Structure 1
Amino acid sequence: MSADPKGPPPGLGAEWQQVLAIFSEEAEELLSSMEETLIALEARPDDEHLRALFRLAHNLKGSGSSLGFQSLTDYVHGAEDLIQALLDQRLTVGEPWVSLLLSSVDHLRELTRAALAGVDQLGPAHQAQLARLLEGGATGKSSDTSPPPTVVVPFENTPLRSEARAAARGRSLRMDVERLDRIVTLAAELSIARGRMTQFLMEAESSGASWDEALTQQREMDPLFQELQEEVMRVRMVPVGPLFRQHLRTVRDLARAQGKLALLELEGEDVTLDTAVLEALRDPLLHLLRNALDHGIETPAERQAAGKEACGRLRLRAVHEAGGVVVELSDDGRGIQRERVRERARERGLVANPERLRDEEVDRLIFEPGFSTARTVTELSGRGVGMDVVRRDVEAMRGTVAVRTREGHGTTMTLRLPLTLAVIQGFAMGVGDQVYVVPIELVQECLELPISQRTSEEAGMLALRGQPLPYLRLRSVFGLGGAAPGRENVVVLRHPDGIVGLAVDHLQGEGQRVIRPLGRLFQDAPGISGSTILGDGRVGLILDTSTLVRRAIRRAAETPESPFTEAALIPGADARVPSASRASEP
């Protein structure tokens, strides 16, 4: 075993680094496929899965050998021996051998990273594991048939953290050659169109060209710009399947660490998301899975006593819906125990009378910061940070999270996410000289604020077809000062808990907005999630309405006479025609 990998040929340093980068990506794909195949093999043992597993290991061995990674090659060879013994039926496929091979996949990941860093050497743990692989493969039996202990990696230190993954991949994306050709063609056509426009403008004064002719030239370029933008956005779209499949192993290992059995089913793996949304989805999804396994899925004995199968089932589903993507995680566990939630809410003083809360209000308490129903702190839960992090991260993507549960039958968590974080179809509204933007899918309607409500108060209440509509006056929320105009408008927005209004000076209408991140000084500004450049060159601020609403609710709790309370939000409202006059929209 060598301490250093085979060096690059003389004069090929840059090319050698490219070769290593390709090997790194291919090795990770092979190892991920080995994990998925092992999980499938455990659920349904057959020769097809074993042969596929052997091919994957053999490909990894060949790639490592070609680069001179001898220790990595030796380790894969040991795994091949064990897989061959299973294929020859000298060993019986079962949980101990699957666990041993899964643990070996983890070792292979470590060895691959070490080899790429210049250290091609087996450590003591690797040598001990390799000995077990070789013993099982050579004799068809092992002196120790008990499964190796399952190691649960703490979430904060897991190698699947998005930053590490992004750094390992160099934030790269694969592009279809035909799509690349189309982008190049569109860029060439735009270059020609720009040349014609430049020539037209240079000759316009002497030729006496009219504005109509200039507009015609511009309209010829618009479809090209739009198509190029759409093609570039499609390049960023990636399927959710690889992310979903990573969690097959997560569910298996975390369930066994708690003495449980669980199987993850996947649906909608071909649904595509912007790569930035997919990266941001990783942590919330892992929190939800851990929560479902810890709080939802029961032990085999508890499930059988309740008339269920010993193995719990989780279903991870993705589907395109209304210009976005819906991701659902369902389990067939015990569901949310609402009395326990009420008890914890009473203990922590979250609400004065938790017994008066509606079921949906009780369910939403699990998203409160620091809230947990766990009686003891474990590696998986008990500190009350999981579900709060899920809501925070999802809302940072301009998404929403909702819960649906039935005690004794299971829980479904529903995440509604935008297709991309780069561009939104936004609705602009003005307060004084400042322009604010909200995603158009949140806008339900616009109406004129009654004269009786035109005050300087930050919050107020309207009657919308006999139902209370709490609203916030943005001029006061952001401390803009100045006098309000003679006419104010209310933009009614859908909110995860119902609907809420924003009182503004004027409406500017709908349009596509390119999102730009806030500068470092403004990243923590409450209620603002980003910025965009408007058509006239000014900067518009994109509102984080969920944060604004929660902030207003917290203030209302400190001010009993405030009209803005969570109870005033209209659950499930589907208002269409306001009793007040509808505001005109540009």
Structure 2
Amino acid sequence: MQIDHELIIESFRTETEELFAEMEAGLLSFEAHPREEVLQTVFRGAHTLKGLAMSLRFPALTDFVHGVEDVLEALLERRRLATGELVTLLLSAVDHLRGLTAAAVSGSGQERMPAGAQRLLEQLRAPGLTGPLPVGAQGAPEEARRVRTLRVDVEKLDRIANLTGELSIARGRLTQVLAKGSAAEALGVHLEAERLHLELQEEVNRVRMVPVGPLFRQNLRAVRELTGAQHKRARLVLEGEDVEVDTALVEGLREPLLHLVRNAVDHGLETPEARREAGKEASGRLVLRASHEPGMLVVQLSDDGRGLRYERLREKARALGRDAERMTAEELAELVFLPGLSTAETVTEVSGRGMGMDVVRRAVDALRGTVTLLSEEGRGTTVTLRVPLTLASIQGFAVGIGEETYVLPLETVQECLELPAELRGQPGGGVLNLRGQALPYLRLSEVLGVRGSCPERESVVVVAHGGGLAGLVVDELYGEGQRVLKPLDRLLHSLPGVSGSTLLDDGRVGLVLDVPSLLKEAVQRTEPGRTSGGPAPRAP
């Protein structure tokens, strides 16, 4: 039997990534609450890794992990004292294990242990030596190719295989009925095939779902290192680790979550002395939690730090020409997402809450999600991310402009109404009076450059995003339905207001609209000096 070496190596890489994450989380947990069973888990991970490395004949990795295993064994047998310095060295050892594994997988560095790894082993074996060594040039080379993998329960695969077989049988029956049967028989078989198709689609979506726990636990070490570097004290509490989300979202959430955690430690939490003076515990508390809402994953990061300084934000609002005195706390908090908020006079007051938060919002926008921020001065801040559970499909609302069909994410659609008769056919955007609320609107035909005859009746789709509302004028309303998302071709990446594509029921390609950019365009068109559709009309 021929053995697929590449498949074995890929399986090894995937399994070791999980082992490293478990070892890292175990060491951090052991440092906070020293328990033998936690250390046993770390030891078992090292022992498993050594066995895998030996079986694949990776001598450098085998020798290094054997040395780490000796230190862990000494801790378990109480021959070594568990100190913060030793945990730091062991965490550095995990970094070196990642580097040695990557070198082994890529085919380099398999025979001899790098000098940096050898020096770290010497430090681990000699309690008098302190301080971690960075992974140097002999560490992890950049991988030329990284394959995305996902572990799947065999029962789920069996269910998918069975549904596929049933769907194939239904298709054969449909072919026979179309050739010899009646229309009623054909409709019955079609409905049965449709039911099987929906079941298969749901099962495939379930396969893509993974718990958020591993993603959350990656931030434990970041908190430890940041608090140590800044002489602060904090603990990160994880809630909802079993909540599941599409595997494609994990990568998309990693960077914004890390940025938010760093922001909270860097600029949200006070020093132990400042916290005592404010009547708080010396150690800060961060809570990272996950939960589900209908069709959405909700991720919240809360801290009990200093919170936002709203008076400073009002000063910033005045500098931007806004009516700061009439702005609510929520409206002031929205300012921190503006690029460039972290100017010299605000960097020490709103700190990282402004600096770079626009990057977080852009990352979440790319996931078709929203980010909001609530803060109480002196009590702390909570940042909430809401993203769809899956990026593979979307519940969409189809609209028509001329002969073209476009799709809006259904979660952004609030309501639909008829455009007042006096505004039909008028170019440009403007403002509608929606039950006493100003509603900026624009014509999708102008934004997307679609030409067509003016319809007798036009409709306004009211969409929401990030606390704002806007109206999109369209020719036709086609209604909602589930759509499979496809990425845009490189030639269409610069197309304004478009985030993807999908196949329509008639086989044509429809574009999925990017609501955040459309909202931004609608607001800009209603600013002073921009083209407007005339004075605000009466309420429709």
Query: What displacement does 1:147 show?
Result: 4.2
Give the Cα separation in 2 of the matches to 1:413 and 1:488. 38
Cα shift readout 1:379-414 (whole Å, capped 9, x = no counterpart):
xx8797631121112112211111111111111111
The verdict on how the C-alpha distance between 1:579 and 1:345 changes in structure 2, with shifts beyond 3 A counting, is closer
Partner of 2:496, secondary structure, is coil
**2:277 aligned with 1:305, yes or no?**
yes
Kindly indicate whether the alpha-carbon contact (under 8 Å) linking 2:372 and 2:384 is maintained by their aligned counterparts in 1. yes
**2:128 aligned with 1:134, yes or no?**
no
Query: What displacement does 1:48 show?
Result: 2.2
Report the counterpart of residue 238 of structure 1 in structure 2.
Answer: 210
Kindly indicate whether the alpha-carbon contact (under 8 Å) linking 1:152 and 1:257 is maintained by their aligned counterparts in 2. no
The verdict on how the C-alpha distance between 1:26 and 1:481 changes in structure 2, with shifts beyond 3 A counting, is closer
Residue in structure 1 matching 2:374, options 404, 411, 418: 404
Report the counterpart of residue 199 of structure 1 in structure 2.
Answer: 176
Identity %: 55
Give the Cα separation in 2 of the matches to 1:237 and 1:322. 15
| Further displaced range: 236-245 or 349-358 | 349-358
Cα shift readout 1:358-394 (whole Å, capped 9, x = no counterpart):
322221111112332677999xx87976311211121
Unaligned runs of 5+ in 2: none
The verdict on how the C-alpha distance between 1:166 and 1:319 changes in structure 2, with shifts beyond 3 A counting, is farther
Report the counterpart of residue 41 of structure 2 in structure 1.
Answer: 52
**2:198 aligned with 1:226, yes or no?**
yes
- State the AA in 1 paired with 2:159: R
Give the Cα separation in 1 of the matches to 2:355 and 2:8. 42
Query: What displacement does 1:80 show?
Result: 2.5
Query: What displacement does 1:558 show?
Result: 5.5
**2:195 aligned with 1:186, yes or no?**
no
Give the Cα separation in 1 of the matches to 2:347 and 2:63. 41
The verdict on how the C-alpha distance between 1:509 and 1:242 changes in structure 2, with shifts beyond 3 A counting, is same
Give the Cα separation in 2 of the matches to 1:453 and 1:115. 68
Partner of 1:84, secondary structure, is helix
**2:128 aligned with 1:143, yes or no?**
yes
- State the AA in 2 paired with 1:331: D
Report the counterpart of residue 84 of structure 1 in structure 2.
Answer: 73
Unaligned runs of 5+ in 1: 1-10, 136-141, 569-577, 581-586
**2:64 aligned with 1:94, yes or no?**
no
Partner of 2:390, secondary structure, is coil
Give the Cα separation in 2 of the matches to 1:492 and 1:86. 62
Query: What displacement does 1:527 show?
Result: 0.8
Mapping of 1:313-352 within 5 angstroms?
313-344=285-316, 350-352=320-322
- State the AA in 2 paired with 1:466: G
Cα shift readout 1:211-253 (whole Å, capped 9, x = no counterpart):
2222122122111111111111211111111111111112211
Kindly indicate whether the alpha-carbon contact (under 8 Å) linking 2:96 and 2:135 is maintained by their aligned counterparts in 1. no
- What is the TM-score of this pair, normalised by structure 1? 0.84
Kindly indicate whether the alpha-carbon contact (under 8 Å) linking 1:431 and 1:506 is maintained by their aligned counterparts in 2. yes
**2:430 aligned with 1:460, yes or no?**
yes
**2:58 aligned with 1:73, yes or no?**
no
Give the Cα separation in 1 of the matches to 2:227 and 2:494. 37
**2:327 aligned with 1:357, yes or no?**
yes
The verdict on how the C-alpha distance between 1:199 and 1:107 changes in structure 2, with shifts beyond 3 A counting, is same
- State the AA in 2 paired with 1:310: A
The verdict on how the C-alpha distance between 1:86 and 1:304 changes in structure 2, with shifts beyond 3 A counting, is farther
Kindly indicate whether the alpha-carbon contact (under 8 Å) linking 2:100 and 2:140 is maintained by their aligned counterparts in 1. no
Residue in structure 1 matching 2:22, options 33, 36, 49: 33
Kindly indicate whether the alpha-carbon contact (under 8 Å) linking 1:338 and 1:359 is maintained by their aligned counterparts in 2. yes
Give the Cα separation in 2 of the matches to 1:159 and 1:511. 46
Report the counterpart of residue 227 of structure 2 in structure 1.
Answer: 255
Report the counterpart of residue 430 of structure 1 in structure 2.
Answer: 400
- What is the TM-score of this pair, normalised by structure 2? 0.91
Aligned residue-pair number:
533
Query: What displacement does 1:301 show?
Result: 1.9
- State the AA in 1 paired with 2:156: R
Give the Cα separation in 2 of the matches to 1:271 and 1:152. 34
The verdict on how the C-alpha distance between 1:374 and 1:42 changes in structure 2, with shifts beyond 3 A counting, is farther
Query: What displacement does 1:165 show?
Result: 9.3
Give the Cα separation in 2 of the matches to 1:229 and 1:544. 25
Cα shift readout 1:7-56 (whole Å, capped 9, x = no counterpart):
xxxx96x5333332222222222221111011111111122222222222
CA root-mean-square deviation = 3.0
Query: What displacement does 1:103 show?
Result: 1.0
Query: What displacement does 1:143 show?
Result: 2.3
Give the Cα separation in 2 of the matches to 1:535 and 1:340. 53
